[in-house]
Amino acid sequence: MSSTEPSPNRRGYHGSCHCGKVRYIAFATIPPPIGPGIDRKNAMRFYKCNCSTCLKMGIFHMRLPNPAKDFVLLSPSDPAELSNYTCFEKNLDWRFCPTCGVRCFTVCTNGQSEEIDLEAKLGKPSEGKMTRIWRMGEEKWEPGSKGYLSVNAHTIDQDQERFDMRELVDKKWVEYLDGKEWAQPPRYDYPYPGGTW
């Protein structure tokens, strides 16, 4: 990151499907850390994969460092209420809205429904109002070995401060993965064959 880049800032970004049935908040740090010295399993990352699943579903991965703390599903309060697609080893749930068909996130774990003080979590003055949410259980998440959550960055609501997908691409903060062959390391300049910008 150059001296002209803004300092990293973690904040809650609201996201949703097109019809609004699915609503969530993802806590992300922008700009994300990038480069060869980064522990990719524990870092905030944006990436595009050229595998057939990600490509055909239009997934722009936003991987959060700790999904148990960095992602809350506001609606519905249980992802089992969403439609689901599994493929290949069937270990990932590619959840999507049963009304509009938009895929907001992919998950591989059971989570828990609970009540939290959402205003306090967002760093706002709190009146103690509790909100029912769903999230991954902390005991179900271990970087690189247990649990998986990827937010589709295309579903982050537009016009939120510091979230500009053009900037992510222009400043080469997006990784391009060779998920089709898994033969090449991630790169930041352009997609692998079959991939998209």
- Give the CA distances from residue 52 to residues 22, 41, 59, 152, in Å, rounded to whole numbers and listed in that order: 25, 23, 11, 16
pLDDT for residue 167: 93
Which range among 13-17, 76-80, 161-165, 187-191 has the greatest average pLDDT?
13-17
Residues 114-154: pLDDT tens digits? 999 999 999 999 999 999 999 988 776 666 666 789 999 99
d(CA 27, CA 11): 5
Domain 9-177 fold: 2.170.150
| Single pTM value for the model | 0.90
pLDDT for residue 140: 65
